[in-house]
Structure 1
Amino acid sequence: MENLWKYLTGILVIFITWTVLSFLISSQLILPDPLMVLKTLISELQKSEVLEALVITLSKIGVVLATTVTFGVLIGFFIGLNDVVYDILRPGILVIQAVPIITWLALVMFIWGIGWLGPVIVSILSLLPHTILSTAIGIRTTDKRLIEMAKVYRVPRSKVIRNIYLGSIVPQLLSALQVIIGNVWKVVVVAEYMCGDKGIGVLIAWARQSVAVEKVYAYTAIIILIGLIVENILNHFVRKLLKNWELV
């Protein structure tokens, strides 16, 4: 309950700060007041095309998260088990990680054009390397003495993977998940803005073209609210997961 009050207090501080800045700037084209944005938000959520765009954006985010976590953990796990493979593949993964999003956007637009697939591919390419490396580092930092002890006592391979390897990568993996959850919304929406045909990012692009600044803020608020909800759900899931490894 105490954490809830702190959370609500933080939101209130943001609201007051926003109101004061909007009053000082005195330009609805730069920073509309929060009440106007709230009214626009409620109005837009009653439109079927906005709800459809939201569902499309959420579907992309779901695909990106599922793909990034699944393949990132699997690839990182096997890379981390073999020093030679890790040393060979790590430079390439770092190069992919360092490529700017705008470059991926340009390449995707050349290959696939405007559509649903482009933002998904760009987002996966932007987020997957971090998950792979985080998992691989977790595997490589596993206590070798525990593995040797497991061999001596002939512990089943399944228990070694679950209790030793997975237990070792949990901190790195959870850290990677926090980064992914914090960035996937921004990456997907930016990609939609540049090469999407439907979605919240496309609505933001249309709002910009019509100079509807309050709509830009309203659509952004939708993504922020959903992001906060998902982050809180993830934190709840993380705490339950950590208890399985007796980390909390």
Structure 2
Amino acid sequence: MPRKKKKPSLWLGISLLFILLIGGTGYLVYSTWKTLHKLPYYANQPLSEFEDLKFEHVFRSNITGILGIDISQYQGRINWKQFDRTLKNRPIEFLIIRATMGDDRDDLFASNWAAIDTMSLARGAYHYYRPNQNSTKQAENFIRTVQLKKGDFRPILDIEKQSSIQSKERLREGIRNWLNLVESHYGVKPIIYTGDAFFEHVLKGHGFEDYPLWVANYNPVMKPKSDDWVIWQFSEKGRIKGIPEKVDLNLLRGGEKTLKSLLIE
């Protein structure tokens, strides 16, 4: 006599229950991770919509935030007559320009600097620090190139990479030397621009907290990990009329009071 086959409904039910348990557990883990990392609602949006949503979120979360951009020769020759000083109905109130990098000068600094001088925008100049080059020569290069006046931003040091020929401590000594030489010349404490992770792992805890911090972090987070930032570079994909290439977008928090504290009196 043939055996009776077991009804498939029991095994089907068990399989479905197992799938639901696995799926539910996965969703719970993801939700917890998302909460812990404070990912905003737009994190899963398509790339085409992501930047617009992020822009809105950043400024909605920082009501008194001021919008600014930074440029270098990589943005190409800017048509200043077509330059649109607004982005998404928000005014651009400051513009930072790369002046020097290591022992070299930015090819378009002089023309960009002169163009901004005719506008009612707060302008600033920064030096891109090359960690394998002499810090004194780099400071002297910036000082020769940039003449700052009342209403300009304090000098800015852009440090993003570690050295391949010296230790972290030696690199920090070089950075301190650049900062001290530039502060002595201009009479004001410079601003440090760096990446969120670089600040945490290289600069934090070594006496650099006394300098105003401009931090870059493009991730879909509520704010940078570094707590004491005054400027947050939150995007590198800004599009502005008159500028051929994408630009970096920055939020200066604290409103006009903070902006004024970063300018030369």
Question: Shared fold by TM > 0.5?
Answer: no
**Structure with the higher fraction of residues in strand conformation:** 2
Normalising to structure 1: TM-score of the pair? 0.28
Normalising to structure 2: TM-score of the pair? 0.27
**Structure with the higher fraction of residues in helix conformation:** 1
